[in-house]
């Protein structure tokens, strides 16, 4: 018993907890600051020195945000684009990944090299011409411009191919003997077998799409087409012109952050897995 | 009868091939052509300019400033992110409770959009009204011009990124640490090695792939940051936080110098490639046994 207590309160362990707790405070404080200031009336937000705890609670900032920004439309845009990109990516990347993993065709290794190469190509190499192409074909400020670039990800292809490689060929042989075609095999047999990886790909794609900034910022013109990141950037710009209402800005940020954080808290384990798996595999 | 190959594969790969050809390969070709000429995409006119734009890039002081800023950013962000990530991972790797709670708390900045964090931190960093300087004043430290000082602007942005990435690297390294075979550490302990020796000679070499990967990825991402400086400092003050991406954006999309913008894009991409290759070689040499 005595030694048990000793190991529990070993000094180095206490130090560990203290450091970890300190780190937690550092990581969480900005979030607290964002949320708490969103509930302060504007005069209190800009008060110096700032109050760490709001003296007066108000929702006036939130009301202001909902009045000055079409929040619903913005969320819809982000959601629509993200859903489209996730579905398209899963579909199209699976097709290629399956072909690379299970089918035989000429140029297979060349194609694989292209896929690998594309992972390494920086976006900045072709962002200007891509924009000009979109402009030429009148696709700027449309959902096409938001969804199509990035609807197939080489990284997803790579991950899905890894997953398909683990599917034993016997299943496929058996299905072929039974007269099934490869579409059936891919979607009814292989895909269900790689659910974890499919979920990872879906999650990573969703995360990337939802938070994408540079490209949407370039191609969106009308306010009605903005996604959440673009809308926030425009809001910050707008605030600058009209003398900064930080309280309102914090409210806008909180509105934007809450859904994704709730989603994260529920899908935590998967999120962390997805990040580290996609990290370690590379 | 054995088919030579599966014809249906063509159907499977065609969406990607079309996508790649139209939206990646062709634009890359256009970028190269545009950087060597004045090519008006809309009218189709092209006037050959040769290496004029590339010469211009290498003579542009703003280009070199952007490079220097990126270097400053990387020097601060990469070692700190990975070092602190490793440290936290080591802490979490012990037999402690509430590991999930800590991991979640540290990870929280990651799913949050960079946009949200950039705007939030640009307020926290405010020289006069920002809470960071207020907290410093509580312990008697003077206010710092985080985003308004020429010398500090890039560093401040880098520190914010370090804050964001602690969760990522700590989780990454934690996974790698837990994959270290316990027998190796046991036998090392039996041979009388100290914790530090165990770490340096057994754990660290085994963690090498994860470390190399982290450094390379952090560098690739770091050279391409756009949102953070754009939203926090607009590249200022006096271009002290101008990055290559911001520079490209300004030239191509604000000043409509498209040929020049493409040249910047090409050069930037080459720099990224170069940095990646150099790093892999350097690190793998140093830690390999």
Of B16, B114, B217, the CB nearest to A92: B16
Instruction: Indicate yes or no: CB of A280 within 8 angstroms of CB of B176.
Output: yes
Place of tokens 């050069």: B267
pLDDT at A3: 43
pLDDT at position B280 over 80: no
Distance between CA atoms of A253 and A235, rounded to whole angstroms? Answer: 10
Please report, for the domain that includes residue B96, its CATH number.
1.10.3720.10
Instruction: Tally the domains of chain B.
Output: 1
Q: Residue B124 in contact with residue B143, Cβ under 8 Å?
A: no
Residue B33 included in any domain: no
Buried-exposed string B29-44: b where 16+ CB fall within 10 A, e elsewhere:
ebbbebbbbebebeee
Which has the closest alpha carbon to B247: B232, B222, B219, B225? B225
pLDDT at B213: 85
Domain A69-244 sits in CATH at 1.10.3720.10
pLDDT at A278: 58
**Mutation site, B103, B105, B137, interface A, largest A CB count within 10 A:** B105
Which has the closest alpha carbon to A278: B272, B214, B203, B180? B214
pLDDT at position A1 over 50: no
CA of B191, closest CA in chain A: separation in Å? Answer: 23
C-alpha to C-alpha distances, B51 to A76, B115, B262, nearest whole angstrom: 46, 37, 12
> Given its phi and psi angles, is residue A107 left (phi above 0), alpha (psi -120 to 50 degrees) or beta?
left
pLDDT at position A8 over 80: no
Of B12, B163, B210, the CB nearest to A99: B12
- Specify the higher pLDDT residue, B6 or A29: A29
Roughly how many angstroms between the first and final C-alpha of chain A, as a whole number? 47
Q: What is the mean pLDDT of residues B94-100?
A: 84
Residue B24 included in any domain: no
pLDDT at position A146 over 90: yes
Distance between CA atoms of A128 and A141, rounded to whole angstroms? Answer: 16
Residue boundaries of the structural domains of chain A: 2-63, 69-244
- Is the pTM above the cut of 0.80? yes
Range of the domain at B154: 53-287
pLDDT at A9: 57
Chain CA centroid to CA A48, Å? 36
Residue B283 included in any domain: yes
pLDDT at position B138 over 60: yes
C-alpha to C-alpha distances, A65 to A78, A141, A236, A246, nearest whole angstrom: 18, 24, 12, 11
CA of A178, closest CA in chain B: separation in Å? Answer: 16
Contacts with A, B 101-160, CB within 8 Å: 101-117, 119-121, 123-124, 128-129, 131, 134, 137
Distance between CA atoms of B245 and B221, rounded to whole angstroms? Answer: 11
Distance between CA atoms of B128 and B145, rounded to whole angstroms? Answer: 9
Distance between CA atoms of B150 and A51, rounded to whole angstroms? Answer: 29
What is the DSSP code string of B80-125? Answer: HHHHHHHHHHHHHTSS-S-HHHHHHHHHTTTTS-HHHHHHHHHHHT
B253 at interface of A, judged by CB pairs closer than 8 A: yes
Neighbours of A65 (CB within 10 A): 23
Distance between CA atoms of A204 and A90, rounded to whole angstroms? Answer: 11
Residue B152 included in any domain: yes
Three-state secondary structure call for residue A8: helix
Residue B183 included in any domain: yes
Contacts with A, B 164-223, CB within 8 Å: 166-168, 171-172, 175-176, 210, 213-214, 217, 220
- Provide φ and ψ at B51, rounded to 5°: -90, 15
Two structure tokens written together for B71: 């270097």
Chain CA centroid to CA A142, Å? 21
pLDDT at A49: 82
Strand ranges inside chain A, DSSP E: none
């Amino acid at each position: 018993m005595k030694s048990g207590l000793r190991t529990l309160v070993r000094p180095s362990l206490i130090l560990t907890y203290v450091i970890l707790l300190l780190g937690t405070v550092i990581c969480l404080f900005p979030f607290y600051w964002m949320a708490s200031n969103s509930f302060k009336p504007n005069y209190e937000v800009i008060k110096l020195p700032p109050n760490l705890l709001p003296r007066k609670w108000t929702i006036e900032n939130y009301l202001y945000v909902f009045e000055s920004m079409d929040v619903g439309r913005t969320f819809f845009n982000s959601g629509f684009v993200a859903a489209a990109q996730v579905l398209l990516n899963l579909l199209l990347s699976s097709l290629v990944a399956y072909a690379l993993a299970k089918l035989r065709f000429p140029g297979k290794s060349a194609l694989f090299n292209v896929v690998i190469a594309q992972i390494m190509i920086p976006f900045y190499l072709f962002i200007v011409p891509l924009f000009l192409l979109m402009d030429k074909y009148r696709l700027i400020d449309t959902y096409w411009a938001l969804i199509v670039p990035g609807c197939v990800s080489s990284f997803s292809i790579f991950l899905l191919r890894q997953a398909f490689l683990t599917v034993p060929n016997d299943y496929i042989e058996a299905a072929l003997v039974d007269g099934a075609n490869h579409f059936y095999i891919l979607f009814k047999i292989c895909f269900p077998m790689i659910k974890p990886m499919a979920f990872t790909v879906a999650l990573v794609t969703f995360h990337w799409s939802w938070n994408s900034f540079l490209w949407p910022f370039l191609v969106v013109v009308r306010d009605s087409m903005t996604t959440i990141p673009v809308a926030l950037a425009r809001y910050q710009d707008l605030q600058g012109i009209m003398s900064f209402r930080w309280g309102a800005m914090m409210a806008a940020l909180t509105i934007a952050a809450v859904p994704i954080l709730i989603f994260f808290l529920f899908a935590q384990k998967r999120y962390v897995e997805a990040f580290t798996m996609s990290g370690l595999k590379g | 009868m054995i088919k030579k190959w599966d014809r249906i594969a063509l159907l499977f790969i065609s969406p990607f091939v079309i996508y790649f050809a139209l939206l990646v390969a062709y634009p890359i070709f256009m970028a190269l052509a545009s950087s060597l000429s004045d090519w008006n995409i809309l009218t189709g006119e092209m006037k050959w300019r040769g290496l004029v734009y590339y010469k211009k890039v290498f003579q542009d002081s703003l280009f070199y400033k952007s490079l220097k800023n990126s270097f400053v950013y990387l020097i601060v962000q990469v070692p700190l992110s990975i070092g602190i990530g490793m440290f936290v991972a080591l802490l979490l790797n012990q037999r402690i409770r509430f590991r999930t709670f800590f991991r979640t708390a540290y990870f929280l900045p990651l799913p949050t959009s960079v946009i949200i964090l950039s705007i939030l931190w640009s307020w926290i960093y405010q020289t006069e009204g920002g809470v960071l300087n207020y907290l410093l004043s509580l312990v008697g430290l003077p206010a710092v011009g985080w985003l308004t000082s020429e010398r500090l602007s890039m560093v401040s942005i880098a520190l914010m990124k370090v804050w964001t990435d602690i969760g990522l690297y700590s989780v990454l390294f934690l996974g790698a640490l837990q994959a270290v075979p316990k027998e190796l550490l046991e036998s090392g302990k039996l041979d009388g090695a100290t914790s530090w020796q165990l770490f340096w000679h057994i754990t660290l070499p085994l963690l090498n792939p994860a470390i190399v990967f982290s450094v390379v990825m952090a560098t690739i991402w770091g050279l391409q940051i756009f949102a953070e400086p754009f939203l926090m400092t607009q590249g200022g003050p006096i271009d002290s936080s101008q990055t290559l991406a911001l520079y490209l954006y300004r030239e191509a999309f604000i000043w409509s110098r498209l040929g020049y913008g493409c040249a910047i894009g090409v050069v930037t991409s080459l720099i990224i490639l170069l940095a990646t290759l150099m790093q892999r070689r350097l690190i793998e040499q140093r830690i390999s046994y």
